[in-house]
Amino acid sequence: MTRRIRVLQVTHDLGVGGLPRVVETLCRSIDPERFDVSALCLNFGGELAEMLTADGFTVSVLEQAARKPDYLSSWRVAKFLRAGHFDVVHSHNTQPFLDAAIGTLLSDAGVLVHTDHARDFPDKLRYMVLEHLLSWRAFKVVGVSEHTTENLNRYEWIPRRKLATIPNGIDGRLFDRAIDRPAVRASLGVPEGAVVALFASRLEAQKDVPTLLDAFVLLRDRVPALHLVVAGQGSLRESLEARATALGIGDRVHFAGVRLDIPDVLRAADLFVLSSTWEGLPMVILEALAARCPIVSTAVGGVPSAIEDGVSGLLVPPRDPVRLAAGIERAARDPELRRRLAERGRAVFEERFSAAAMARRYEALYEEGCRRRGIA
């Protein structure tokens, strides 16, 4: 093509979270000489939308009737697509998939690429049947891990020829800049000399923070210097704070709320902990690898595809506070082990999970889809 390929990323929002960070990273990492990338938020903009806009990217928010279900959202998306003359529409998760699929059909817009960012399968039957039907409109349906892709084939009956796997990626440069480590640790409320374990994610049932708190009860006397920082927000925050107090570990667990400086927080921590019951390939795992922050995680979803137990991190079963406590204790007591896990983790990140690697694979999909439609 003599002109750049116009790509629209369609997402619920660009607030703080793993999926929005993937969309933001794609906008920033896709080759601007070959592609003109913008984003459409169906629900609201958010912090990352503001950051992208400040850096010159076009981010639009779909106009909706306040506090009412928007049954015309697909029609509104179609209208937006007709006006924008997009070559590629890239949707992220179920509602954007529905609106983008119907929107491209009504507007005769270009190639539809969809990414499933993972969930706990089997999902509700109506969602799985809907996505099976929508997949016939898509050029490719992408899973963020082999585990997710297999679930899409197994539970949604999407043909393998329609499927691709592209792991999430992040910009490693954000994790290499100099930081004031004592100042960051002080901002988290931990005392000097503490061994800091960091949890950073949404405070929802999927992340199983109660099991993590139960593990910390077991560690209270075994590792007296150990403190837990819980960074993130969600519907369970108040109940989790109350649980930590009731368990007698309120002085060892620090709820930090939403942090927009997660790269710095990861580098200031001594280890990262994830206690989820299910995952795709969580962005925060990749961020911890990039930050050289040794990982203790439950072996769920796509996590074992990124972490080799005992080599680039420590893996434990989900919903098992005893095994989780043992993994945290092993890492907390052994600085040399943490150093080895951190260095190998960064090497794995460079090999497989950089933003550049993710962007190049999506660019290839966009170009192939355009060629097949005679756009390029």
HEC sequence for 339-366:
HHHHHHHHHHHHHHCEHHHHHHHHHHHH
Q: Are 213 and 253 in contact (CB under 8 A)?
A: yes
Judged by DSSP in three states, 166 sits in: coil
Over residues 9-46, the pLDDT tens digits come to 999 999 977 899 899 999 999 999 999 999 999 999 99
Assess whether pLDDT exceeds 70 at residue 66.
Answer: no
Whether residue 11 contacts residue 42, with contact meaning beta carbons closer than 8 Å, is answered with yes
* pLDDT tens digits along 88-134: 999 999 999 999 999 999 998 889 999 999 888 898 999 999 999 99
Q: Is the confidence at residue 68, as pLDDT, over 80? A: no
Residue 225 has pLDDT above 80, yes or no: yes
Structure tokens at 178: 């100099």
| pLDDT for 64 | 66
Interval 313-327 mean pLDDT:
98
Q: What is the mean pLDDT of residues 276-286?
A: 90
Core vs surface per residue 85-124: b (16+ CB within 10 A) or e: ebbbbbbbbbbbbbbbbbbbeebebbbbbbbbbbbebeee
Asked whether the beta carbons of 148 and 118 are under 8 A apart, the reply is: yes
Percent of the chain's residues with pLDDT above 70: 97
**pLDDT given at position 344:** 97
Mean pLDDT of 64-92: 85
How many Cα atoms occupy the beta-carbon half-sphere of 99 within 13 Å?
29
Q: What is the pLDDT of residue 110?
A: 85
pLDDT of residue 194: 96
Ordered by start, the domain boundaries in the chain are: 5-169+354-372, 172-352
Tell me, what's the pLDDT at 65? 55
Q: Which pLDDT score, from 0 to 100, does residue 145 have?
A: 87
Residue 71 pLDDT more than 80? no
pLDDT score at 375:
84
So what's the pLDDT on residue 268? 97
Percent of the residues in the chain that have a pLDDT greater than 90, as a whole number: 84
The per-residue pLDDT of the chain, averaged, comes to 93
Tell me which residue of 61, 154, 70, 163 sits closest to 116, measured CA to CA.
163
Domains 5-169+354-372 and 172-352 share a fold: yes
Is the pLDDT at 158 greater than 60, yes or no? yes
- Assigned architecture for domain 5-169+354-372: 3-Layer(aba) Sandwich (3.40)
pLDDT of residue 376: 65
Element (H, E) at 35: strand 35-41
In CATH terms, the fold of domain 172-352 is Rossmann fold (3.40.50)
DSSP state of 140: E
The average pLDDT across 328-352 equals 96
